Amino acid sequence: MTPEQFGKQEALPAGTPPSLAAMWHDKQNDWKAAHEAAQEDESSDGAWVHAYLHRKEGDNGNASYWYARAGKEPYAGSLDEEWCAITGVLLNR
């Protein structure tokens, strides 16, 4: 499944890991649910998603903290590109 196909699903598949669920909620324009799902995952994946979400809300200081926790450099491309990049990695785990 591609990131685009995942984001277009009408319902979140049962058993979706929290970080991937966060990306789905974000694509549905539900930042609050996305943030709550990201907080459930204390791994580097959760930190990466958390960074993206704070970047999206314009809180670059908080985003930088979460990128560092994830071991990632802050993303320089568009939010849509980053969403596809993160979701693609998470779908292939």
Residue 10 is assigned to a structural domain of this protein = no
Residue 29 is assigned to a structural domain of this protein = yes
Q: How confident is the model at residue 41 (pLDDT cuts 50, 70, 90)?
A: very high
Q: What HEC string does 5-66 produce?
A: HHHHCCCCCCCCCHHHHHHHHHHCCCHHHHHHHHHCCCCHHHHHHHHHHHHHCCCHHHHHHH
Residue 2 is assigned to a structural domain of this protein = no
pLDDT at position 93 over 90: no
Averaged pLDDT, 39-58: 97
Q: Report the domain count for the chain.
A: 1
Residue in this structure with the two tokens 């699903």, named with its chain if needed? 9
pLDDT in tens, 54-92: 999 999 999 999 999 999 999 999 999 999 999 999 999
pTM of the model: 0.95
Which pLDDT belongs to residue 90? 98
Residue 66 is assigned to a structural domain of this protein = yes
pLDDT at position 8 over 90: yes
Residue type, 44: S
Residue 4 is assigned to a structural domain of this protein = no
| Structural domain containing residue 51 | 16-91
